[in-house]
Each structure stands twice: as C-alpha cells, then as structure tokens.
Amino acid sequence: MAAYPSDQKTPARPSQAYNELLESIYDSATHPEAFEYFLKKLCAFTQSGSANLSTVNVSEGCFVGGWIYGFKKEDLALYMEENLINQDPIAQKIMSSPPGQFIAIRKIIDWESFKQETIYKRWVEPQDIIDSAGCMIKSEGSIQTTLFIQRKTAQGPFTDEEVHFLNSLVPHIQRSVSLYLRLAAKDMANQTLPNVLDALATPTILLDSRGLVKHVNTTAQAFMTQRGWISIENNLLTSSVKELRNRFNSFLMTNAAYIHAEQGSGQSVIHTQVGGEHLAFCMQQVDAAPGSGTNGGALLFIHHQEQWIDERKVPVIAELFHLTPAEARVALLLAQGMSIEAIANYLQRQNTTVRTQLKSVFSKTGTNSQGQLVSLLLTSPVFLT
C-alpha cells in the first residue's frame, strides 16, 4: 500500500498519493465520473484489482446499481444472473453488519473449504481473487450502500493494518455519498424531465444513478396497473415473475454501472415474454443538468414487440439512418427481438444475406453490435412517438 509505514496506523500525512485519495473521495460528489473516480484512486493506493460502491436491495438480496472499477461486464453479468450474492460470504456478512467497519473475507471463512464452493469456482478463481474486503457505508431501510474491494493473488490478502486504514476512510466516504445524494436530489428536482416524460406515449421509468426509481410516466403507471406483474416497491423496480425479477436486477446493475462508467455500450436491452406479450426493456443514459457534477441516471423504456413488420416504420428508419428499405427491415425486426435466423426466415432470405445487410447497418449507424443497434433504434423517434 502506498505511503503506509508499518509502524503507523494512518498513512504518512505528507504522502501525495494519500492526499489525492482523500481529495478523490470528496471530489467524487461532483466529478463527472462520480465515485468511479474514487474507486480508481482507491485501487491504485491499496494495490487492489477491482472495487464497487453499490446499492443493495436487502429484501431481495441483490445489487441494483452504483459504480464499479476493474470488472469486465460479462463477469459482473455472470455474478448477477447466477445470483451469486446469496453464496458470497463477504456480501452476506456486510449486508447483516452495522455501517462503518470493513471486514476481510479471509477473517470470516476457511479459505481451503471455500475453494469447494460454487461461487469460488464460478467467480473467485476465474478472476484470480485472493481476498475481498467490504463495508456497509449507508443503510436506508431495505436500501444499503456498500463498498467492496478485491485483490488478486499477486497483490496478496489484506492485512489487519490495511483493514484498519480502510476503516479510517469510511467517515469521509459516508459524508461524500450523503453530499452526492443531496446534490442529485436537488438536480432531479430542478429538471423538467418528468414533465417531458409524461408526454411520451412509451412507458418510461426514470432511474437515478443508484438504480432507484425517481419517476414513472403516466403511460408506465397505466402499463403496470393493467398487468400487475411489474411494480415499484421501496423505489425499486420489481416483478412478481421471479425469473423476470432476477433479469431486472442483473440488467439494472450491469447496464447502469457500465453506462455511468462509460466502459462500453454492450447489451442494454432485454427481451422477454409474459402472458403471451412480447416486450423489450431498453436503458439509456440521462445527462445531468450542466454544472451539477452529478450523474443524471438512466431512462428505462418499455416497448411492445410485434411479431410482424410494421411497414410504416420502414421508410422512417431508412430516412433517419440513411439505410436502404431492405436494411431498414432487417434493423426493425432485430429491434423487435428477432434473431438473425428468425429474420432470414421471415424475410425469406439467406442468413448470409441478412448478416451482410446488418454489417452495412452497423457501418451507417456507427454501432458495433446488435445490442448497440437495438438500443439506438428503441430510443429513437421511430419508437418513442
């Protein structure tokens, strides 16, 4: 650990790295990268591989949002989709502990026995994690803000001295998180966005940077009332359909974190079928008010997925993105949840033809993947009006 003499309980005060770390804690409240900026500094100072400052829904035992550093999106998605939090000893310990104290996983488990667990084989070993330390930063009923730091084998386990040092940072982190939340609430109150969203015909939900619901437009309220299987509880999006609820949690955590971190677009759309109804949930980042320094959160759009092509949309897509009618049809069907094979069958074309047209669509729209393209289309005027 940088500037951390073995005979002291706090880093040497003249240390520039330590001063920068403290500054990053408070700067994160207004920094464009928010707490990802602090996590970068924290990992560098503590010689750790990754860290996450996350919002946890305690009642359902899952992460729903926050900031990350050092994780690959696919690894985070695996953790969420396989619900590994329920097998994670450090996460379970922190969720049941009072705020303010870091705990290292090697202090509460037998590491050799832990190697036999599924989470070790699926999550810990593939990422070469040798230790993890966690702390409850803030608790608000069923909503918790937690901080976890992971180390790889080459970096070694956390020492008692290092855990003591992490505890010295907690009051600073708590103050900065509280400041951030106050600024974000003020920014949200000053926005006219909720009024704009109420004018949309598309069911739309506004989320803050922690994954909490801040506004549900009129159409989305009607959508939820009519169906009953999707609702808002304690400012969290949930569903009575267990599989869909798990997908929501994974979707919100992986996409919200990476949208704010700007670590690649990836798949920001999920397709599902409930009660015979085909739907798509699409997430898009919201910019904060200029000068506020806060993350604006994200918008979640809910789209009906037709199983036939709406020819009225074809010329609109073609004109908007400078596509040929054939390319516009392929793009439209992809946005409606069809696979390459299904599109080829529907249009009575060869798979290779559809892939060639799709490649041209990528080039013309500036996208690099099906997920990026679908997200672009579903948040365009074609679907929102």
Q: CA–CA separation, 209 vs 296, rounded Å?
A: 7
Kindly report, residue by residue over 144-162, the tens digit of the pLDDT.
999 999 999 999 999 999 9
Q: Please provide the size of the chain in residues.
A: 385
Which segments of the chain does DSSP mark as H helices, in order? 16-27, 35-46, 73-81, 89-95, 111-114, 118-119, 160-190, 193-198, 218-227, 242-261, 313-321, 325-335, 340-347, 351-365, 370-378, 381-384
Give the N- to C-terminal CA distance of the chain in Å, as an integer. Answer: 54
Percent of the chain with pLDDT over 90: 42
Please count the other Cβ atoms lying within 10 Å of the Cβ belonging to residue 203: 23
Q: Which of 190, 180, 212 is nearest to 36 (CA)?
A: 180
Assign 288 a pLDDT band (cuts: 50, 70, 90): low
Task: Confirm if 51 and 70 have CB atoms less than 8 A apart.
Answer: yes
Give the pLDDT score at 385: 59
Kindly report, residue by residue over 175-198, the tens digit of the pLDDT.
999 888 887 777 655 566 677 788
Domain limits, CATH 3.30.450.40, in the chain: 16-186
Give the pLDDT score at 135: 96
Assign 245 a pLDDT band (cuts: 50, 70, 90): confident
Domain 16-186: CATH class, spelled out: alpha beta
Q: Which of 332, 293, 318 is nearest to 342 (CA)?
A: 332
Give the pLDDT score at 7: 39
Supply the DSSP string of 154-199, one letter for each residue: GG-PPPHHHHHHHHHHHHHHHHHHHHHHHHHHHHHHH--HHHHHHT
Determine the 3-state secondary structure of 377 from DSSP: helix
Kindly report, residue by residue over 291-317, the tens digit of the pLDDT.
444 455 778 888 887 777 888 889 999
The pLDDT of residue 261 is above 50:
no
Domain limits, CATH 1.10.10.10, in the chain: 313-384
Q: Is the dihedral of CA 120, 122, 123, 125 positive or negative?
A: positive
Kindly report, residue by residue over 47-98, the tens digit of the pLDDT.
999 999 998 888 877 888 888 899 887 888 888 888 888 899 999 999 999 9
Instruction: Locate 88 and state its tokens.
Output: 């994670």
Percent of the chain with pLDDT over 70: 86
**CATH code linked to domain 313-384:** 1.10.10.10
